[in-house]
Every structure is written in C-alpha cells, then in structure tokens.
Amino acid sequence: MSGMVEKRGLGTWLTHIGLILGIAIICFPIYMAFVASTVTQSEIAQPPMPLLPGPHFIDNYTAALTQGINAPVMTMLVNSMVMALGITIGKISISLISAYAIVYFKFPFRMAFFWMIFLTLMLPVEVRIVPTYEVVAGFGMLNSYSGLILPLIASATATFLFRQFFLTVPDELVEAARVDGAGPVRFFIDILLPMSRTNIAALFVILFIYGWNQYLWPLLITTEPEMNTIVMGIKQMFPSGDDIANWPVIMATTLMAMLPPVAVVVLMQRLFVKGLVESEK
Amino acid sequence: MADITFNAIRKSYGRTEVIHGIDAEIADGEFIVIVGPSGCGKSTLLRMVAGLETITSGEVHIGDRVVNALEPRERDIAMVFQNYALYPHMSVFDNMAYGLKIANVPKPEIAERVAEAARMLELEPYLERKPRQLSGGQRQRVAMGRAIVRKPAVFLFDEPLSNLDAKLRVQMRLEIKALQRKLGVTALYVTHDQVEAMTLADRMIVMNAGVCEQIGAPLDVYADPATLFVAGFIGSPPMNVISHDIRPGHGALAPGAVIGVRPEHIDLVEPGTGLIDFDVGFCEPLGAETLVHGVTAAGDKLVVRIDGETRPPADGVKTGLSIDPSKIMMFDPSGHRTSA
Ligand SMILES: Nc1ncnc2c1ncn2[C@@H]1O[C@H](COP(=O)(O)OP(=O)(O)OP(=O)(O)O)[C@@H](O)[C@H]1O
Ligand SMILES: [Mg+2]
C-alpha cells in the first residue's frame, strides 16, 4: 500500500518538475524583458546583462507611457484597444447577423451568398492588401480608426461557426417561439443570442487577440505616430542606422503590449473553455 | 374557447400531395385525438392548424374566423411539442412567462398566471430551475404550463408523451385529460398510439395516408369500424381478417372481399362443433387474458382472445371456433364496410 502511494508521489514530483522546467524555459525570455525594463540603458549595454530587476521600474514605465519613442505608449495602447475591440465586436455582430440570415431566411441566391462568404476564407488580409489599401485610401480613411477596423471585420470563419451552431438549434424551438408570438428580431435577441453566448465568448477571445496582433495592416495605413498601434509601434521604436536603441523603454512597451490579451484570456477563460467544449443542449 | 372546422384541407409539398382533403367539425371543449400510422400526415394537419405550415387549399376555421392567413400567435392557440421545445437558457418561470411578456401582459398578472399554472402542475419548487435540471416528466409539465398560461382557445399536442417511459406516460395521460376537462379548452392531440387515442379522446380522427378514414367516439369506432384499415389499426391485437366465407349457408366471397372478426368475439369449442376447425399454433398468456394464435382449415391466420382463467389449449391441438354471426363484419375489395 505505502509503496504505491510513494510511487505515485514520486510520479507527481517528476511531472511537476518537468512542468516547472518547461514553464521556466518559456517564461525566461519574458522575465529577461522584465529585468531589462527595470534597469538603465547603460546597464543593458554592458555585457553581463543583469539577472535581477533594477530600481528603475517606475521611471522606465512612466517614460514609456507618457513619451515613448515616436508616440506615447498610452496613445498606442488606446489605439490598439480601439482597433482590437472594433474588430472583435464588428466581426461578431456581422457574422451573427449574416449567419442568422443564411440559416433562418429563404431568399434568392442564399447558398450562393453562403459560398461567397465561405470563399473569402481563401483571401486573408495579406492577399488582398493592395486593393484594400486602394479602397481605404480612396475613402480617405488612412490614419483613422475606421480605416484600421472596417477592412478587417468581415469574417467567414465566425459566420461559418455561428451557422453551424444555429443549425443545431432544434426547429421545434423556433416554432415554439413563433407560437409564443416572437417575431424574427425578438427570436434573435431573446433566444438565439443568449443561447450563443459561450460561442460568442470563445470567439471574443480569439478575435481580440487576432485584432490586437494585427501588424501589417496598421503599418501600411497609419503614417502618423498618433495613430500607431502598439504591436507595430514596437517595431517602429527600433532606431534606424547607428542610433542606440532605448532598450528599457522598448522592453517596458513590449510587456505592456502583452497585458491586454493576457487579461482577456484570463478573464474569459471559463466561458472560453465552455464555449469550445460544450454545446448547450 | 372555440370550435374548429376543417373544410377540404389539402397540403402539398412541391408536387407531392400529403393531405388529400380533410373535413371535420370539432365542437367547443371537445378532446379530439388524431391517430394514424407514422407518416400519415397527422403532424402536418396539426401544424396547419397551428399556423406552422401553410394550407395548400381548403380552410381552417377557429371560432368564427378563417385562420389560413394568420400567424400562429394570432390564432389563439398553444402548442405542446414532442421534444418539449423549452428555451434552454430560461428558467421554468421565464419559459412559461415568455409568451405573456411578448403579448405585453402586465407583470403582476404574468406572475399570477404562472403561479396558478405551476400550482396546477405541481411545478412550484422548480420555478427557478433551468430545463436541463429537470426530469423528462417535469419538462413535459413545463411545456404544458407554457400552453396553459396563455389561456388559449385551442390546445395542440404533437405526440407530447412519446419521450416518456411507459409508466409516466400513463400518469401524464390521465393528467392531461383531467386538465383539459377542468379548463374546458378544445384540444387536438396527435398520437400514433391507439391506446392513448382510445383513452383520451372524446372523438378520434383515424387517418391513413393523408385521408381521414373515420371520425367518431373511441368505442363507436372500435365497435363499428368504417374501413378495414380502421378495423386493423384500432384494437390490439387487431381484427382478424378472413378471406374465406365462414358463415354457414353462404357461397364463396366476392373476389377481394374479406370478413373481419375481433379476437374476443371468437370462442374455442370442441373440434367439429364450431363454424370452422382451427389448429392452435401457440398461446400468449397475458394474465387477464390469453391470446391463442393459429390457422383455420382454409389457411387464414387468426388470433383468439380467451379469458385468462381458462386453461389455454396446448400448442398444436385441433379445436373448433364458434363465432357470433352478428359480430362478423364484411369489407368490400376497396376496404369499405358492406352489409352483406
Ligand atoms: N417538409 C416536408 N417536405 C416534404 N414532405 C414532407 C415534409 N414534411 C412532411 N412530409 C411528408 O408528409 C407526410 C406526413 O408527414 P407527417 O410528419 O405529418 O407524418 P406523421 O403522421 O406526423 O408521422 P409520425 O407519426 O411519424 O410523426 C410524410 O410522408 C412526410 O414524408
Ligand atoms: Mg408526427
């Protein structure tokens, strides 16, 4: 008996050591970035880089947030937040509504529209970036939030996901709602939306990270530093030519760029996992 | 509360017609069961009354209105679905209250009506639960409650008990009947279970392949079936069909015509003394009664129902059958009852 317990104890230890090692390896670069963001430029430049945090945390982060290098990080964070939320909310609303139309309404060329939406899966941002730029520039939306958001909010994936979910909703439920007197809009708001909430939460997490991490598109259409997003802004912080990079500030910016996606994942994790695993009966 | 009239109702899906013209008059407060085999169009007929299917031709009247063009909610009906169709994200209370909320019934009245329905259906302890936290029988009650609170003129039921186990089905059957009596609301109830039909119905509509074969009170339909189909469908075991004339002094039957006799109208007698001789195949003792299966001398397979207390004949024994001539029914080749 005791032998078994001991053996299991040993196994637990080994697994834990393995896991801790793994996590340590993954976290080490992030830790180094944190260390670099709390020391001075000269300390980083001299070869043995410090391994323990220094005393300049507040200085460096304040410098990053208020001045940054090209634009204050605060501005870039706000820009990124607006873009990521705009893309997420836009994508979810549009795909919910289009999936609703495709599943519940009979209209001419319904399947043709569905396949057209589906085909756009093959055209990610990078492929259509030149014509999209052309259009956005034509509308005068360069350096604007609408220019950052609108071209990215059509989503075949999300439409498809909601379509598949709506197809699993029993017809009897639709009919019960009709007998209860719910019209199409009420049915959508009172019944379909609440039933989709775990799906919506899962998509929110995925799409928020997608929006937050956009790099190429903001790089292309924001030329003014005030409109930079943080993910592209980090790259802009590297000096060109022989100038010296301000590593503490760059590292502070990097860490701050990571925080919102992490926060979203942590806050929505419960709903997110539920959305991926369980379909409500 | 209202009477319902079907006026030559037809339904086609594309070019296939599935309901071939149904006429019926249903009185206010009547409990009507629509019964028939799977695929005969019972649900389609009910759904046309509900307004969930369009009516291809003919008219449905509820009360003094033709409802063909009305939306379900304008028809003053409530429906109970086979899979209950409860809203999974709403509590029992909200499930029952939803229709009233949409109809802009004032909040206090909603609470009062739901409370009353919950009391009637013994759902009071569950009002805060979600449907998935309820048993099948409780969900069934919630679905009933949702129908009751609307105070509709007509209840529509589409096989509401078919997902329940046998015991619960019997219990819920009695409850539905009692509730309908108490509320006095006209009810249309679809089932393929003839026992359910017999026990619930004031009158039943027996359907087959999209036509109405007979409308009548259960015992009348049983005692006096209009067609061979009804004779075979209503009653368990079904009516015996004999293709040789067994009546003394009659010649051969017209080609295609048959004779029908209910299993309980046949008695086993000594060989040679009855109308015809009978080879017993096997017996099914069911307690209160025993079903004796076998073959007549002319080759017709028959079932005879004898009292459970009577000692059943051994397998393979030869006996005679005596049949009360007045209980013999004749069917012409098209399956309709004839007198001779
Ligand atoms: N949407 C549809 N399109 C085409 N045919 C249909 C459709 N719905 C039903 N039918 C046909 O109509 C006929 C009657 O169907 P219905 O559902 O009314 O049968 P039912 O009597 O309720 O059977 P069950 O006891 O199995 O529920 C069937 O032959 C069915 O195939
Ligand atoms: Mg049916």
Nearest chain A alpha carbon to B82 = A172
Write out the H or E segment, with its range, that includes residue B295: strand B289-296
**B227 dihedral zone (left: phi>0; alpha: psi -120 to 50; beta):** beta
Distance CA(B290)–CA(A162), nearest Å, equals 58
Measuring CA to CA, which residue among B50, B2, B59 is closest to residue B26?
B2
Tokens 């502070």 belong to residue? A252
Instruction: Indicate whether A278 pLDDT > 70.
Output: no
Sheet of strand B240-242: strand arrangement? B240-242, B258-261, B329-331, B337-338
Instruction: Indicate whether B56 pLDDT > 60.
Output: yes
A208 confidence band (pLDDT: 50, 70, 90): very high
The answer for residues whose C-beta is within 8 angstroms of residue A60's C-beta and 6 or more apart is A37, A38, A248, A249, A251, A252
Task: Decide if B61 contacts B23 (C-beta within 8 A).
Answer: no
| A interface residues, B as partner, C-beta within 8 Å | 170, 172-173, 175-182, 186, 190-191, 194-195, 197, 280-281
Nearest chain B alpha carbon to A186 = B102
- Domains of chain B (ranges, CATH numbers): 4-233 (3.40.50.300), 240-338 (2.40.50.140)
Task: Find the B189 Cα to ligand 1 centroid distance in Å.
Answer: 16
* Both tokens assigned to B284: 């099914």
CA torsion, ordered A35, A36, A41, A42, to nearest 10 deg: 60
Does residue B237 have a cis peptide bond before it, meaning omega lies within 30 degrees of 0?
yes
pTM reported for the whole predicted model: 0.81
Residue A7 to residues A11, A12, A14, Cα–Cα distance (Å): 6, 9, 11
Inter-chain residue contact A179 with B87, CB threshold 8 Å: no
Residue among B42, B49, B212 to mutate when testing ligand 1 (max atoms within 8 A of CB): B42
Helix axis angle for B92-102 and B136-149, nearest 10°, is 20
Per-residue model confidence (pLDDT) at position A43? 80
Fold for the domain defined by A73-279: MetI-like fold (1.10.3720)
Task: Decide if A77 contacts A230 (C-beta within 8 A).
Answer: yes
Provide the ipTM.
0.82
Distance from CA of A166 to the nearest CA of B (A): 14
DSSP B289: E
Q: What is the tens place of the pLDDT at every residue in B103-157?
A: 999 999 999 999 999 988 888 899 999 998 888 889 988 999 999 998 899 999 9
Strand B301-307 and strand B318-323: the pairing is unpaired
Instruction: Indicate whether A281 pLDDT > 50.
Output: no
Distance CA(B90)–CA(B106), nearest Å, equals 19
Task: Decide if B58 contacts B8 (C-beta within 8 A).
Answer: yes
The answer for residues whose C-beta is within 8 angstroms of residue A4's C-beta and 6 or more apart is none
A275 confidence band (pLDDT: 50, 70, 90): low
Inter-chain residue contact A179 with B50, CB threshold 8 Å: yes
Inter-chain residue contact A175 with B85, CB threshold 8 Å: yes
* Both tokens assigned to B4: 């319902």
Distance from CA of A186 to the nearest CA of B (A): 9
Residue among B10, B33, B43 to mutate when testing ligand 1 (max atoms within 8 A of CB): B43
Q: What is the mean pLDDT of chain B?
A: 89
Q: What is the mean pLDDT of chain A?
A: 86
A83-97, A178-192, B317-331: range with lowest mean pLDDT:
B317-331
For chain A, which residues make up each domain, given as ranges?
73-279
Instruction: Indicate whether B314 pLDDT > 70.
Output: yes
Q: Which of A179, A190, A281 sits opposite B72 (nearest CB)?
A: A179
Residue B51 to residues A167, B41, B70, B130, Cα–Cα distance (Å): 22, 15, 7, 28
Q: Is B208 in the pocket of ligand 1 (CB under 6 A)?
A: no
Half-sphere exposure of B332 (CA within 13 A, CB side): 7
Task: Decide if B44 contacts B11 (C-beta within 8 A).
Answer: yes
Residue among B44, B56, B156, B213 to mutate when testing ligand 1 (max atoms within 8 A of CB): B44
Residues of A in contact with B51 (CB under 8 A): 178-179
Atom of ligand 1 nearest to the CA of B46: 18
Distance CA(A180)–CA(B329), nearest Å, equals 48
Helix axis angle for B166-183 and B136-149, nearest 10°, is 10
A187 confidence band (pLDDT: 50, 70, 90): very high
Bridge partners, residue B157, by sequence: B80, B189
Q: Is B191 in the pocket of ligand 1 (CB under 6 A)?
A: no
Q: What DSSP assignment string belongs to B169-186?
A: HHHHHHHHHHHHHHHT-E
